[in-house]
């Protein structure tokens, strides 16, 4: 098997805060293969964005500090590149779409200017050539009348259009990996459907890999091949989307899935069935300045046993592909022989 | 605190007579393009008729700019209505003068969307929750008002020792609970919740939804529940109204709206809910974007995006909200409702 496009191993990042050192990521490992869509899911504060920003080395240091780990992309360890080499990766090889299309664009420049800027940073094009490229790029992301509207300012565009511009900028230099941080969260339902369809199409057309950061498991289900579930800076479970969502092995994944209001034509509640309440996850994230020994989910876990509060839990491979970090799931899998730790 | 107001006839049940009745309500905002230009008008809310009973939740769904928030704010008279009539508990409040309106305000409260920006960062939880108590003179300042605030906090699942904290010391879910406590402290009958869970994580979202449902059962609250998240509305609302460009295009019991989806826009909205179990079904993806409320399309506002648009009819004449089956209370504004 060929090496994955992006390979993250044992990534640990801490932040210095006034209250002490906060362990934001603690031993995160996963791969993104060529042409695949991998989704990072979890609640806010669990380390999704910290992972994405670490890949691009965009975390300000200090307060952020790389404790240990390796991020191998196209054969190079990104964590040991010089800032100058890194600039050749950012934008050129790895594109990034930020969460909020309302604030990610500069309001005082036209979208054309910002798109051309991105193109000319990495390629030796004349202004005219770059402009043609920019128009072609906008057309590719389904921006209507790109030649006429390339000189619009961000405030003249709707949220969906701005998100298309951001995707066009991220794709300007045909990156092999696109990182999208909550690309549809700020958008309306029908526009969200359009953007998801676009990402799906681009991935097929361009053979690009996608690292998607999302908290909406519905979005994840509709586009991702694999899912990585993060909790308090630790990978709790990962695996192929279909099996992970249909048969989650970790109590946290199960709790997350249960707390989503059911949908579908039979999900509505009549007056009679009201009063049945939605399952919730009680409690809050552990204090990452002094995480508890053992499992980080212990305080909120419905199935917690004594061992969970004392022993470090290894990430154990599952027979159906994927891996889970839970003693109870480990017992369930014990019949299967392959039980390697950490590196799948 | 709710003892002093007249107890709802049937707690947790839906009474027959509507508490809130809204007739052909419109809100127009003037927009001037220059100091000497005559203003043009945005029809943010355009002839909306609806009712909500005690103990009932009316879900209002639609995309941004469809007028959901403006509708709720106009109903509570946070905006002055331009046309139409609002009747709350048999009192016409459409043009109620300020003094009388003030008394009404106690009975109609608003829970705002963003718990990060809707709480004053310089006020403690105690000050935020007891501000209304002081304004409406529901308790003498001091120990009594404090006890009342503490009781309200307990009702929303916050410990009284939170009283001394500032909003920045709270998590998103706790802040939203404070926002709800602020509204509840004055003992309202109607609660307008504007995207109350949109800014929260799913696990916390479920807690807040459960809380709102429990409060409704206990206090017999009448609720307007605004959300762009159909999954949430579908789960929590008794009846649902779908808005598009300032108008209601479909309204009925949530079961009817979700099951029948007569309006093509309702269909697209429901189809856009990402499913957790990919079933390979092709999603119905609407082309284009909602038009501007500045110059809405002629005829049915949805016709430029509608898959079953009929030229000469849909683009000429606007359909009215009518019952498809008389007596069903399931109303649709469409010339070609989907019937399968």
Chain A's closest residue to B218, CA to CA, is A275
Least confident of A307-321, B67-81, B147-161: A307-321
**Shortest CA distance to A73 belongs to which of A63, A88, A60?**
A88
Whole-number pLDDT of residue B8: 42
Q: Which of A49-53, A318-322, B159-163, B232-236 has the lowest mean pLDDT?
A: A318-322
A245, B234: Cβ pair inside 8 Å? no
Asked whether the predicted pLDDT for residue B7 surpasses 50, the reply is: no
Of the partner residues B271, B273, B276, the one whose CB lies closest to the CB of residue A245: B276
Q: What whole-number distance in Å separates Cα of residue A78 and Cα of residue B26?
A: 58
Distance CA A307, CA A326 (A): 10
pLDDT score for A269: 53
Q: What is the DSSP string of B253-300?
A: EHHHHHHH--SHHHHHHHHTSPPSS---PPP-PPPS-PPPSSSPPSSS
Does the beta-carbon distance from B272 to A190 stay under 8 Å?
A: yes
Q: Which residues, at least 6 apart from A224, have a Cβ–Cβ distance to it below 8 Å?
A: A37, A38, A39, A212, A241
User: Which residue, among B306, B225, B235, has the nearest Cα to B267 in the 3D structure?
Assistant: B306
Cβ within 8 Å, pair B203-A275:
no
Chain A residues touching residue B273 (CB < 8 angstroms): 189, 218, 263
Residue B208 near residue B196 (C-beta atoms within 8 A): yes
The pLDDT value recorded for residue B6 is: 42
Contact B289 A221 (CB under 8 A): no
- pLDDT tens-digit series, residues B105-138: 999 999 988 777 889 999 999 999 999 999 888 8
Q: Are strands B108-111 and B190-194 parallel, antiparallel or unpaired?
A: parallel
Q: pLDDT of B252-269, one tens digit each?
A: 999 889 888 999 999 988
Q: What is the pLDDT at residue B282?
A: 62
Cβ of B203 within 8 Å of Cβ of A281? The answer is: yes
For residue A88, count other CB atoms closer than 10 A to its CB: 13
For an interface test with A, give the residue of B289, B291, B293, B307 to mutate (most A CBs within 10 A): B289
Q: Is the pLDDT of residue B278 over 70?
A: no
Nearest CA to A269 among B113, B216, B181, B22? B216
B279 pLDDT band, cuts 50/70/90, is low
Q: Choose the closest CB to B234 out of A222, A246, A267.
A: A267
Among A161, A261, A269, the strongest candidate for a mutation testing the B interface, having the largest count of B CBs within 10 A, is A261
The predicted pLDDT at position B86 comes to 95
Q: Tell me: pLDDT of B51 over 70.
A: yes
* pLDDT score of A274: 52
A196 touches chain B (CB under 8 A): yes
pLDDT at position B153 is: 92
Tell me which of B69, B114, B202 to substitute to probe the interface with A (most A C-beta atoms closer than 10 Å): B202
Residues B20-47: pLDDT tens digits? 999 999 999 888 878 888 888 888 999 9
Interior angle at CA B202, CA A213 and CA B171, nearest 5? 95
Residue B5: predicted pLDDT: 42
Distances (CA, A) of A222 to A201, A226, A227, B149, B227: 13, 11, 12, 45, 22
Q: A323-324 and B18-31 as β-strands: parallel, antiparallel, unpaired?
A: unpaired
CB contact under 8 Å between B278 and A221, yes or no, is yes
Evaluated on CA atoms B91, B96, B99, B102, the torsion sign reads positive
- The whole-angstrom separation of Cα A317 and Cα A239 is 9
- A148 phi and psi angles, rounded to 5 deg: -85, -30
Written as one string, the DSSP assignment of A196-237 is HHHHHHHHHHH--EEEEEES-HHHHHHH-SEEEEEETTEEEE
> Under an 8 A CB cutoff, do A218 and B274 touch?
yes
Report CB contact under 8 Å: A197, B285.
Answer: yes
Question: Tokens 């779908």 sit at which residue?
Answer: B242
Name which of A10, A22, A178 is nearest A93 in CA terms.
Answer: A178
Residue of B nearest to A254 (CA): B203
In the prediction, which pLDDT does B4 show? Answer: 42
**Which residues of A are less than 8 Å from B283 in CB distance?**
193, 197, 222
- Condensed to tens digits (0 to 9), the pLDDT of residues A177-216 reads 999 988 887 777 777 888 888 888 888 888 899 999 988 8
Which band of pLDDT confidence, cut at 50, 70 and 90, is reported for residue B141? confident
Distance from CA of B139 to the nearest CA of A (A): 32
**Which residues of chain A, if any, have pLDDT below 50?**
270-272, 335-344
Q: Are A42 and A18 in contact (CB under 8 A)?
A: no
Q: Could you tell me the two tokens for A208?
A: 């690009």
Going across the sheet that includes A20-32, the strands are: A20-32, A6-17, A64-73, A76-77
CB-defined contacts A:B, below 8 A? 137
pLDDT tier at B244, thresholds 50, 70, 90:
very high
Sort out which chain A residues have CB atoms less than 8 A from B229's CB and list them.
Answer: 189
Place of tokens 């004449």: B317
Confidence grade of residue B71 (pLDDT, cut at 50, 70, 90): very high
* Model confidence band, residue B229 (pLDDT cutoffs 50, 70, 90): confident
Please name which of B62, B166, B179 lies closest in space to residue B114, comparing C-alpha atoms.
Answer: B179
Mean pLDDT of chain B: 86
Instruction: Enumerate long-range contacts of B207-210, CB under 8 Å, 24 or more apart.
Output: B207/A280, B207/B157, B207/B173, B208/B173, B208/B176, B208/B177, B208/B180, B209/A261, B209/A278, B209/B235, B209/B236, B210/A277, B210/A278, B210/A280
């Amino acid at each position: 098997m060929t090496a994955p496009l992006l390979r993250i191993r044992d990534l640990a990042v801490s932040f210095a805060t006034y209250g002490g050192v906060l362990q934001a990521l603690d031993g995160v490992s996963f791969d993104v293969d060529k042409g695949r869509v991998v989704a990072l899911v979890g609640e806010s504060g669990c380390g999704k964005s910290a992972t994405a920003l670490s890949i691009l080395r965009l975390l300000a240091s200090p307060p952020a500090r790389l404790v240990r780990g390796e991020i191998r992309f196209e054969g190079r360890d990104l964590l040991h590149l010089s800032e100058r080499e890194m600039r050749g990766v950012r934008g050129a090889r790895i594109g990034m779409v930020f969460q909020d299309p309302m604030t990610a664009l500069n309001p005082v420049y036209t979208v054309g200017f910002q798109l051309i800027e991105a193109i000319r940073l990495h390629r030796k094009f004349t202004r005219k050539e770059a402009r043609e490229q920019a128009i072609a790029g906008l057309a590719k992301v389904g921006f209507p009348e790109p030649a006429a509207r390339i000189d619009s300012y961000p405030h003249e565009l709707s949220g969906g259009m701005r998100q298309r511009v951001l995707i066009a900028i991220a794709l300007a230099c045909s990156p092999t990996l696109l990182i999208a941080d909550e690309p549809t969260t700020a958008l309306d339902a029908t526009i969200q459907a359009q953007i998801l369809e676009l990402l799906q199409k681009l991935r097929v057309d361009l053979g690009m890999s996608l690292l998607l950061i999302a908290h909406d498991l519905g979005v994840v289900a509709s586009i991702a091949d694999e899912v990585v579930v993060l909790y308090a800076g630790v990978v709790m479970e990962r695996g192929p989307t279909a099996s992970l969502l249909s048969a989650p092995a970790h109590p946290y994944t199960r709790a997350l899935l249960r707390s989503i209001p059911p949908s579908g034509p039979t999900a509505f509640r009549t007056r009679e069935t009201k009063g049945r309440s939605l399952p919730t996850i009680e409690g809050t994230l552990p204090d990452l300045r002094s995480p508890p020994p053992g499992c980080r989910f212990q305080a909120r876990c419905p199935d917690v046993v004594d061992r969970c509060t004392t022993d470090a839990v290894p990430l154990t491979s599952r027979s159906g592909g994927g891996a889970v970090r839970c003693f109870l799931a480990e017992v369930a899998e014990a019949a299967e022989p392959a039980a390697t730790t950490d590196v799948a | 605190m709710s003892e002093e107001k007249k107890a709802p006839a049937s707690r947790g049940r839906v009474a027959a007579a509507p508490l809130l009745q809204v007739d052909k309500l419109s809100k127009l905002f003037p927009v001037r393009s220059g100091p000497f230009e005559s203003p043009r008008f945005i029809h943010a809310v355009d002839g909306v008729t609806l009712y909500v009973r005690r103990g009932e939740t009316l879900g209002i769904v639609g995309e941004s700019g469809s007028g959901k928030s403006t509708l709720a704010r106009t109903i509570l008279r946070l905006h002055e209505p331009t046309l139409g009539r609002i009747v709350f508990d048999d009192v016409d409040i459409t043009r109620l003068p300020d003094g009388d309106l003030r008394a009404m305000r106690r009975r109609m409260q608003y829970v705002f969307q963003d718990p990060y920006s809707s709480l004053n960062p310089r006020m403690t939880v105690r000050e935020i929750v007891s501000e209304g108590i002081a304004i409406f003179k529901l308790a003498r300042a001091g120990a009594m008002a404090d006890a009342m605030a503490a009781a309200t906090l307990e009702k929303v699942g916050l410990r009284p020792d939170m009283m001394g904290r500032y909003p920045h010391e709270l998590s998103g879910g706790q802040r939203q609970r404070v926002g709800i406590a602020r509204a509840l402290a004055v003992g309202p009958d109607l609660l307008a919740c504007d995207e109350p869970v949109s800014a929260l994580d799913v696990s916390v979202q479920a807690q807040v939804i459960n809380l709102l449902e429990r409060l409704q059962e206990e206090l017999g609250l009448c609720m307007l529940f605004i959300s762009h998240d159909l999954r949430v509305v579908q789960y929590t609302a008794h009846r649902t109204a779908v808005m598009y460009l300032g108008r209601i295009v479909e309204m009925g019991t949530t079961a009817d709206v979700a099951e029948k989806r007569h309006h093509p826009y309702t269909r697209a909205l429901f189809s856009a809910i990402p499913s957790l179990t990919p079933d390979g079904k092709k999603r119905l993806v609407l082309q284009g974007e909602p038009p501007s409320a500045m110059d809405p399309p002629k005829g049915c506002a949805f016709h430029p995006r509608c898959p079953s648009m009929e030229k000469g009819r849909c683009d000429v004449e606007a359909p009215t909200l009518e019952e498809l089956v008389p007596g069903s209370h399931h109303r649709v504004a469409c010339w070609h409702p989907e019937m399968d």
